[in-house]
Amino acid sequence: MFTGLVSDVGTVLSVSGDARMRRLTIRAAYDAATIALGASIACSGPCLTAVSIEPAEGGCVFAVDAAAETLALTTVGGWEAGTRINLERSLKIGDELGGHLVTGHVDGVAEIFARETVTAGAWGASERFTLRAPAGVAHFIAKKGSVCLDGTSLTVNAVEGDTFSVLLIPHTLEVTTWGERRVGDRLNLEVDLIARYAARLAEGRGSAA
């Protein structure tokens, strides 16, 4: 489990393999000694397994394998050397749950179709992003509810049909990849876990009736 609070921005160093399986090596600021082989790391949303870890200057280099389904259903298939990704290590018992419960299981890919500056002040500008949710996912997204976009826990500001908006404060823009995001960019979307189960329960009650 994760919280959607990004703890580092890593850089993809290399990609090898094909559409069936790819291995990606990623540079991060994490201490290699604190990452166990087989550990789960959220990489811009998808939960991926560390299959190797090596110490490196300023942190570590770890490798993950992405299978065909992950490559086809998330943005991982488009990553290449130089791609910057939001990272979060898995939650430990006793850690502060500052975002919301995130599984690292991506529901689909959303696309940004508008970005606008909302406020600009001494601490920088806040930006509103409007996105289109993929088919079959929009009904899980509610105003004031939570979503995870590229591994970042965010609150939904507004919903209209299959579109929704989120507001990014200057700090989040600075410490994640959101400051680089532009219209047309595609992001990994995970809907709120509680919303997913609530919808499933409602479907079950409707069928029973």
Identify the active-site residue in 34, 52, 119, 155.
155
Nearest to 149 by CA among 123, 178, 174: 178
- Respond yes or no: is residue 67 known to be catalytic: yes
Q: Provide the Cα torsion 83, 32, 20, 45; round to 10°.
A: -60
Cα 62 from Cα 78, distance rounded (Å) = 19
Cα 146 from Cα 165, distance rounded (Å) = 11
- Respond yes or no: is residue 60 known to be catalytic: no
Structure tokens at 90: 């898995």
AA identity, residue 35: I
- Respond yes or no: is residue 105 known to be catalytic: yes
Cα 112 from Cα 5, distance rounded (Å) = 21
**Alpha-carbon torsion 17, 152, 185, 73, what sign?**
positive
Sequence-separated (6 or more) residues with CB below 8 Å from residue 157: 128, 143, 164, 165, 166, 167
Identify the active-site residue in 16, 52, 72, 105.
105
Identify the active-site residue in 3, 28, 40, 100.
40
Identify the active-site residue in 7, 11, 25, 49.
49
Identify the active-site residue in 14, 29, 34, 67.
67
- Respond yes or no: is residue 122 known to be catalytic: no
Burial class (CB in 10 A: 0-12, 13-18, 19+), 33: exposed
Catalytic residues: 2, 40, 47, 49, 67, 105, 155
